[in-house]
Amino acid sequence: MSYAFKPRKSLVLIGLMGVGKTTVGRRLAHALKLQFRDADEEVEKAAGRSVSEIFEDFGEHAFRDGERKVIARLLEEPPMVLALGGGAFVDDETRERVKAMATSIWLQADVETLVQRVARRDTRPLLRDEDPETVLRTLLNKRQAAYAEADIHVDASGGSHQITLDSILQALEGREART
């Protein structure tokens, strides 16, 4: 399905790991005929190593610094759908840049759903040595206030990625109609 409106600025998906930012983002980009980019993949390309390797070799601070620079560069490009890593929007500089240059969309899901989803893959550095449920609850508590500043909030807990996509498109169309 294709939609008549074209966003005038990038659409940035935020939320905790496992919420579906990449999968839903690809579908959203396809529906709107926009390019899709994943900030973590772009950081990996820029660094020439995986996110896990960056965390292991240089720590989270170095990763966040590189992430901030990559996101700033991507937001200068023509409108796209951009999936951010779970912690990116918590960074004050990144959040302010996204607010000024894009429409942010918080994909929300309950922790139980996220635990089930992240259990399927062992690629999450923050979950390697800890209980995923504890880590996700802690991250949500730390990040929720920043995430709440997003322009659009969408429940991505239940149902399919298509239901989440439809909710985003509905919210975007409603927002577009008001401007």
Q: Which residues are annotated as a binding site for Mg(2+)?
A: 22
Please give the annotated binding residues for substrate, written as ranges.
40, 64, 86, 143
| Residue ranges of the binding site | 18-23, 40, 64, 86, 124, 143
CB-based burial, 35-60: b 16+ in 10 Å, e otherwise: ebbbbbbbbbeebeeebeebbeeeee
Annotated binding-site positions for ATP: 18-23, 124
Q: What is the DSSP string of 27-82?
A: HHHHHHT-EEEEHHHHHHHHHTS-HHHHHHHH-HHHHHHHHHHHHHHHHTSSSEEE
